């Protein structure tokens, strides 16, 4: 049995009932084979065994009170996966689907993504099965304070620096930061994605979506193409989706779809982002309201179809894991999609990725494509430690440079170890090499 097959079998035996985690591990280990089995140093140092076992897994009870005075209980998680190259760094997700498997897959992916940014950040992830939808501001605050009342003992500006993810934006980060400060009596950059009046970075809100479009642009430029004039399908209508759509529009693309968990809109004239922002960022409403307000748009339920049924040149899945399956990939390929960039984490199933690669569709995986968010989070950490704040243009220019650096590393590793356009292997290998070297040097 090969080294990788043995590790895969051991990980499967030790992590029964964790399909998303196994999917993420399987995707990484199979694509780094050319490197991980080429030199016994990895096997002799048990690097893959160590990489697939988190440093620490924290699970805790989160009691909170609803507006009717009832006590409610959710489960909180923080997985500190690997700190070989820097403090743990990764978002907090609040969504009813959250479980150990999902947080572990996200934390595992984060190790390689953070390594690819070139910045000194390790991998972690956390969250809760709390559902923020339909909750009052007071309920959200009560939950966030209770969540932080346990989490604060495990994190710190040089230990573990969480950020936002699904269901966690500036409001939730604000409540958590306030509670951390109250409990520790320390004013430090323990969370990123903070408000601009208390240590947040300009361009953090835009960073994941902008970064995604920058790297898709890099990928298209390599084949002499670009975003200008292209029809773009975006899924999701949250932080990543909105700012990906904004940058794609600014660069001359036409974004024709957006979605949420109940349905999606198609606007052949190009999505009006002011309307989407008002619905999602201000009113916290449903995407169906877009079709009530904009005459050129159609609304479809997610029970009958998905945004991927629309003909497009560029597909940007920006909602959640496994939202684009092999049938969606076949439809996109049939409709001659040129490029796919993953804004969400693991949005494409393994079979969908295989279909894109077989069809020679340009495909940029999440680890590289959505790393702009964590990269600007690391820039927020730097600004906090220096007690400085940089201008929007300064941060945006650094983000652009970081995304180009990620593209070059991914592309070079792909060419050296796999095929020039196999960005899935390229991103995994480039991310792996740096972390593995640090782990060997440190002996833990
Ligand atoms: P938001 O909560 O802002 O938005 C999430 C969007 O996806 C919403 O439109 C939501 O719809 C939809 N969605 C969530 N869960 C599901 C589901 N199970 N089925 C269908 N639609 C769903 O989150 P973000 O934009 O921050 O995150 C989106 C993705 O990007 C996630 O995979 C996240 O891990 C990833 N990511 C985020 C980063 C960031 O900086 N925020 C950084 C890197 C990756 P609804 O409102 O109906 O739930």
- pLDDT, tens digit, for every residue of 360-376? 999 999 999 999 999 99
Ligand 1 atom nearest to 260, measured from its CA:
11
Q: CB within 8 A of 303, min separation 6: which ones? A: none
SS3 122: strand
Ligand 1 atom nearest to 319, measured from its CA:
7
Rounded Cα distance between 179 and 174, Å, is 9
Give me 320's structure tokens: 């959640």
Question: Does the Cβ of 237 fall within 6 Å of ligand 1?
Answer: yes
pLDDT for residue 172: 98
Give me 15's structure tokens: 């992590």
Question: Does the Cβ of 320 fall within 6 Å of ligand 1?
Answer: yes
Ligand 1 atom nearest to 370, measured from its CA:
43
What average pLDDT does this structure show over 35-48? Answer: 97
Burial of 252 (0-12, 13-18, 19+ CB in 10 A): exposed
Residue of 24, 108, 282, 320 to mutate, ligand 1, most atoms within 8 A of C-beta:
320
Residue whose CA is at the smallest distance from ligand 1 atom 48: 261
Cα of 2 vs centre of ligand 1, distance in Å, is 37
Determine how β-strand 160-163 pairs with β-strand 254-259: unpaired
Rounded Cα distance between 123 and 211, Å, is 19
Question: Does the Cβ of 343 fall within 6 Å of ligand 1?
Answer: yes
Indicate the pLDDT class of residue 151, thresholds 50, 70 and 90: very high
Instruction: At 443, give phi and psi (nearest 5°).
Output: 70, 15
Residue of 106, 209, 260, 367 to mutate, ligand 1, most atoms within 8 A of C-beta:
260
Cα of 236 vs centre of ligand 1, distance in Å, is 6
Alpha-carbon radius of gyration of the chain: 21
Residues involved in catalysis: 125
Cα of 132 vs centre of ligand 1, distance in Å, is 13
Dihedral sign for Cα atoms in the order 216, 222, 228, 230: negative
Indicate the pLDDT class of residue 304, thresholds 50, 70 and 90: very high
pLDDT for residue 61: 98
Q: How far is CA 127 from CA 90, 108, 265, 283, in A?
A: 10, 15, 29, 24
What average pLDDT does this structure show over 408-426? Answer: 97
What average pLDDT does this structure show over 144-158? Answer: 98
Q: What is the pLDDT of residues 52-61, one digit of tens each?
A: 999 999 999 9
Give me 247's structure tokens: 């940058």
Residue whose CA is at the smallest distance from ligand 1 atom 42: 373
The 10 Å CB-count burial string (b at 16+, else e) for 164-195 is: bbbbbbbbbbbbbbebbbeeeeeebbbbbbbe
pLDDT for residue 44: 97
Q: CB within 8 A of 442, min separation 6: which ones? A: 84
Residue whose CA is at the smallest distance from ligand 1 atom 33: 344
What average pLDDT does this structure show over 332-343? Answer: 98
What average pLDDT does this structure show over 224-241? Answer: 98
Q: CB within 8 A of 326, min separation 6: which ones? A: 349, 351, 352, 354, 355
Rounded Cα distance between 52 and 199, Å, is 34
Q: CB within 8 A of 322, min separation 6: which ones? A: 20, 346, 347, 348, 349
Cα of 127 vs centre of ligand 1, distance in Å, is 13
Ligand 1 atom nearest to 167, measured from its CA:
2
Q: What is the pLDDT of residues 98-135, one digit of tens each?
A: 999 999 999 999 999 999 999 999 999 999 999 999 99
DSSP one-letter code for 168: B
Rounded Cα distance between 106 and 232, Å, is 26
List of domains in the chain: 3-192 (3.40.50.10860), 205-358 (3.40.50.720)
- What mean pLDDT is reported for the chain? 98
Residue whose CA is at the smallest distance from ligand 1 atom 23: 166
Q: CB within 8 A of 143, min separation 6: which ones? A: 62, 64, 74, 128, 130, 132, 135
Cα of 185 vs centre of ligand 1, distance in Å, is 32
What average pLDDT does this structure show over 203-224? Answer: 98
């Amino acid at each position: 049995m090969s080294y990788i097959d043995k590790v895969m079998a051991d990980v499967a035996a030790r992590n029964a009932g964790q399909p998303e985690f196994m999917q993420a591990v399987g995707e990484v280990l199979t694509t780094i084979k050319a490197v991980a089995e080429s030199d016994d140093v990895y096997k002799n140092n048990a690097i893959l065994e160590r990489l697939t076992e988190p440093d620490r897994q924290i699970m805790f009870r989160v009691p909170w009170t609803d507006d009717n005075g009832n006590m409610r209980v959710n489960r909180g998680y923080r997985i500190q996966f690997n700190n070989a190259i820097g403090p743990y760094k990764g978002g907090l997700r609040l969504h009813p689907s959250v479980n150990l498997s999902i947080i572990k897959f996200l934390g595992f992916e984060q190790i390689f993504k953070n390594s690819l940014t070139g910045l000194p950040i390790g991998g972690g992830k956390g969250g809760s099965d709390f559902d923020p939808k339909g909750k009052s501001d007071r309920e959200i605050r009560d939950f966030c304070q209770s969540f932080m009342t346990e989490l604060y003992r495990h994190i710190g500006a040089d230990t573990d620096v969480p950020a936002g993810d699904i269901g966690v934006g500036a409001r939730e980060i604000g409540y958590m930061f306030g509670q951390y400060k109250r409990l520790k009596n320390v004013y430090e950059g323990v969370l990123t994605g903070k408000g601009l009046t208390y240590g947040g970075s300009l361009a953090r809100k835009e960073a994941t979506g902008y970064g995604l479009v920058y790297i898709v642009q890099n990928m298209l430029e390599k084949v002499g193409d670009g975003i200008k004039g292209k029809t773009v399908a975006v899924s999701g209508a949250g932080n990543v989706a909105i700012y990906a759509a904004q940058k794609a529009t600014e660069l001359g693309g036409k974004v024709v779809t957006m979605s949420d968990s109940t349905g999606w809109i198609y606007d052949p004239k190009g999505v009006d982002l002011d309307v989407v922002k008002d619905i999602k960022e201000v009113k916290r409403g449903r995407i169906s309201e877009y079709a009530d307000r904009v005459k050129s748009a159609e609304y479809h339920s997610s029970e009958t179809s998905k945004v991927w049924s629309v003909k497009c040149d560029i597909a940007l899945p920006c909602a959640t894991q496994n939202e684009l399956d092999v049938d969606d990939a076949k439809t996109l390929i049939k409709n001659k999609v040129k490029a796919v960039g993953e804004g969400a984490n693991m949005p494409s199933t393994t079979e969908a990725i295989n279909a894109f690669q077989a069809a020679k569709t340009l495909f940029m995986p999440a680890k590289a494509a959505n790393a702009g968010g964590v990269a600007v989070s690391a820039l927020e950490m730097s600004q906090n430690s220096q007690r400085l704040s940089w201008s929007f243009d300064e941060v945006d220019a650094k983000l652009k440079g970081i995304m180009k650096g990620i593209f070059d590393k991914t592309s070079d590793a792909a060419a050296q170890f796999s095929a020039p356009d196999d960005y899935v292997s390229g991103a995994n290998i480039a991310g792996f090499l740096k972390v593995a070297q640090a782990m060997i040097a440190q002996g833990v």
